[in-house]
Amino acid sequence: MTETAVEVVIATRDGRVRGRIDDGIAVFLGIPYAAAPFGEHRFAAPAPVTAWTGVRDALAYGPTAPKAPFPPPMDRLLADPSIPGDECLNLNVWAPAGAVDRPVMVWIHGGSLRNGSNSLPAYAGDRFARDGVVLVSINYRLGIEGFGVFPDAPANLGLRDQIAALTWVRDNIAAFGGDPGRVTVFGESAGSISIGALLTSPYAQGLFQRAVLQSGAPSAQTPEAAGRSTKLIAKRLKIPATAGAFAAVDRDRLLAAQVAITRGGPPMGNGNGFTLAVDGDVLPRDPMVALHDGAAADVGLLLGYNAEEYRLWFVPTGLVDRINRITLRLALAKFRVRARTARAYRAARPEATPGELLGVIATDRLLRRPLNMLADARAGDTWLYEFAWPSPVDRLGACHALEIGFVFDTLGTPDGLPLAGPNPPQELADAMHRAWVDFATTGDPGWPRWNDTRPVMRFDTPAPLLTHAPNDPELQSWT
């Protein structure tokens, strides 16, 4: 808080909260939107907050969901602070001071459904508030606590947390100057995958009107497939694969078993990680299938990906250099990539190494192709973008997660420097941030809707450029 900041108190439906106004921006941190998910609420659907009397401080980030740190070498590239405490189902609000009926954006962080939080400096919402948007960032349960699959507990608890947070926004955001009828959800990676599910969940209908999916295509698995990690962790702990048995395990011991089971998965698959489950309740159908069948046709969608997503995993680990022609062929066979598809990518990139070729194919298999197909299937308002600016740091290029600091206009934060370097182009952040603000405010990010010409806004320097049907020969080779 600066010397000129002043405190401000706002009444929510659960009680009054004390925040601060600094340079015209009202900031409230760590507001609980559901009860602490422990004790009687462990492995249960999110429960209402117990209302409080008096004024509750909302001046510091709240506790983060239980999680282990990112493993090396990712820990030096991806910040992931841990804040102790049980009340991890909390959210933050940044709003223009004195605002009324402003558009609202709700950020859902990524992290493979087992890492991440709303407390990173790169996720600060003051630039959105500066530009007239009320920004909300949320925490949700992670890993086995949020996405374990048990016979005696609801599935998709982390997704249910997200719905509870959006319900809080609907019921309370007007007090902070936001319009509950103009809510845009946006998220990256696992946050984007979560939004794909929210678009089709009956419990999330009407809670938002627009959505931005950054580097994550809608997907879910059967309960049996999604529960694989749960069973493996139970086996390692020598306990039954039930919520009751897991609730009796010390949290640190549970996290240690989770780490042992989930790390080291293949680059083109989920390994033993966590996924959403088609549970017949909060997620009745595979979200991608439902969206192709017309679900959420009234919700405006902004979809996109980074040009070299794979480099975040392939380059720091040295995998990009270890892959040779033989391992490339084996990987393509394992993931059923046809020979004609491999030939199309090789023809378009004759100078690419085997590792680079596998990475590009993985990016398109997991992101570019499914998002293009989703855009083709929709009759509603849909826009596509590609983030293509290459980071100068350690051959990372236009890798996964690099775009986040540009979207938030938070370049230069300590957690952004390891990916983007010390001098990323501010003019690109200006353009990308403005597109997100415009989409939330008007429903139009500033370039043509998806149509037969397949327009894609390519965010790069010296200026963003509208392209049409980029990489089409490669994409068509999959059919």
Residue 267 predicted with pLDDT over 60 = no
Mean per-residue pLDDT, 402-424: 95
DSSP string, 45-81: PPPPPPP-SSEEE--S--PPPS-PPPPTTGGGTS---
Paired with 382 in beta bridges are 301
Residue 270 predicted with pLDDT over 50 = no
* Closest by Cα among 62, 65, 3 to 29: 62
DSSP string, 344-411: HHHHH-TT--HHHHHHHHHHIIIIIHHHHHHHHH--S-EEEEEE-PPB-STT-BS-TTTTHHHHHT-T
Decide if 463 contacts 391 (C-beta within 8 A).
Answer: no
Residue 252 predicted with pLDDT over 70 = yes
Q: pLDDT > 70: what percent of the chain?
A: 98
Per-residue pLDDT at 5 = 84
* Catalytic position from the list 189, 192, 194, 229: 189
* Catalytic position from the list 309, 386, 403, 474: 309
For 18-35, what is each residue's pLDDT tens digit? 999 999 999 999 999 999
pLDDT band of residue 268 (cuts 50, 70, 90) is very low
Mean per-residue pLDDT, 79-105: 97
Residue 269 predicted with pLDDT over 50 = no
Mean per-residue pLDDT, 91-100: 97
The architecture of the domain spanning 6-476 is 3-Layer(aba) Sandwich (3.40)
Per-residue pLDDT at 266 = 44
Mean per-residue pLDDT, 239-258: 96
Mean pLDDT of the chain, nearest integer: 96
Report the 10 Å Cβ neighbour count for 41.
15
* Closest by Cα among 373, 376, 402 to 387: 402
Mean per-residue pLDDT, 401-430: 95
For 457-475, what is each residue's pLDDT tens digit? 999 999 999 999 999 999 9
User: How far, in Å, are 14, 100, 180, 216 from residue 19 at the CA level?
Assistant: 15, 17, 20, 33
Mean per-residue pLDDT, 166-175: 98
Per-residue pLDDT at 145 = 97
Residue 3 predicted with pLDDT over 90 = no
Residue 2 predicted with pLDDT over 70 = no
> Is position 400 annotated as part of the catalytic site?
yes
On the 0-12 / 13-18 / 19+ scale of CB atoms within 10 A, 183 is buried
Q: Which two tokens stand for residue 19?
A: 């925040």
End-to-end CA distance of the chain: 56
Q: pLDDT > 90: what percent of the chain?
A: 95
Mean per-residue pLDDT, 112-119: 97
Residue 448 is classified by DSSP as: P
Q: Which two tokens stand for residue 139?
A: 């925490």
Would you say how long the chain is, in residues? 479
Q: What angle do CA 86, 146, 408 make, to 5 degrees?
A: 80
* Catalytic position from the list 117, 215, 391, 400: 400
Pairing state between β 210-214 and 178-188: parallel
Q: Which amino acid is at 1?
A: M
Per-residue pLDDT at 272 = 75
Q: Which two tokens stand for residue 360?
A: 């590009």
Q: Give 380 or 290, the one with higher predicted confidence.
A: 290
> Is position 292 annotated as part of the catalytic site?
no
> Is position 391 annotated as part of the catalytic site?
no
For 197-220, what is each residue's pLDDT tens digit? 999 999 999 999 999 999 999 999
Per-residue pLDDT at 195 = 98
Helix (H, G, I), strand (E, B) or coil at 311: helix
Residue 81 predicted with pLDDT over 90 = yes
Decide if 243 contacts 300 (C-beta within 8 A).
Answer: no
* Domain residue spans of the chain: 6-476
Q: Cα torsion for 312, 160, 443, 121, to the nearest 10°? A: -50
Residue 412 predicted with pLDDT over 90 = no
Sign (positive or negative) of CA dihedral 268, 271, 276, 277: positive
For residue 402, give every residue at least 6 positions away whose Cβ sits within 8 Å of its Cβ, in sequence order, or none.
306, 312, 387, 389, 391, 396, 419, 420
Paired with 346 in beta bridges are none
